[in-house]
Amino acid sequence: MNGNLDVVEAALVGNSSAKAALDIALHDLWAKTLGQPVWKLLGGSGADVETDVTISVNPPEEMARDALGAVKRGFKCLKTKVGVGAEIDFARLKAIREAVGPEPRIRIDANQGWEPAEAVRVLNRMADAGFGIELVEQPVKARDLKGMAYVTANSPIPVVADEACWSPEQALNILNLGAANSVNVKLMKCGGLRQARRITAVAESLGARVMIGCMLEGKVSCAAAVHLTSASSCIDAVDLDGPALCSVDPVSGGPQFDGPVIRLGSGAGFGVADVPGVKWNG
């Protein structure tokens, strides 16, 4: 398998999502050939994984309703989008916390939306207000590592690098510069499981933690991320809610996404048995 992964990595510069698709397929084939789940071959436990759920940017009262609905569906951790204006962002978080009460954990994702000084002001204000924010993703522009380091040094809330971190080399640079407390790994962003495992190894070697996330993805690619989560002791924040946001699940087999709980199962590979429209050989 490693030879094939070498070919995928060297095929083109960039194109990380296409490479991730091939990487995931190769890992699935490898594990199915051996009759084992990927998580087991990677040294994982196969234990259930718990994910957060995303609350999209809307008026504060609408976000509060969405957050309360998610809590009623069993989610214990909410990831709230912010970064479109410090004052309205504060109002959004205030409305959400008042709606759901003190128990649910709240993460925020600014998607590069703030300037460094603005980020420090609003994060300190949120902390002083007792919103209990667990972490903030990418508060400033991805290319502004100096600004990220300023926020990380002055924020009471841990900073996670997302758009700034696509590779093991970038993860190493970010963490050595103090530009974030941890990094967000996404298979579509970094190019698949092999690169993701390298990033987690870098983080672990530096004593940092890892958040694992996804784009708007379905079950197959999220299944690969769940198997990686099971095998990585340094991953402590899970944002794999893509399948939970889908109205239907056309895929047979694979992990079960039951609200906030993801159950891996013991099927070979990633456990996926059938994807409509895909012809299987063998």
| pLDDT of 278 over the 70 cut | no
pLDDT band for position 9 (cuts 50, 70, 90): confident
Check residue 231 and give its pLDDT.
Answer: 94
Contact indicator for 115, 144 with CB cutoff of 8 Å: no
Range 232-245 average pLDDT: 91
Residue among 156, 150, 161, 99 at smallest CA distance from 127: 156
List, for residues 200-225, the tens digit of each pLDDT value: 999 999 999 999 999 888 888 999 99
Question: pLDDT digit string (tens) for 19-28?
Answer: 999 999 999 9
Beta strand 53-55 pairing with 77-81: parallel
Segment 220-234, tens digit of pLDDT: 899 999 999 999 999
Catalytic residues: 81, 186
What number is the average pLDDT over the span 116-120? 97
pLDDT score recorded for residue 154:
98
Mean pLDDT over residues 120-134, rounded? 97
Instruction: Note the pLDDT of residue 225.
Output: 97
pLDDT band at residue 281, thresholds of 50, 70 and 90?
low
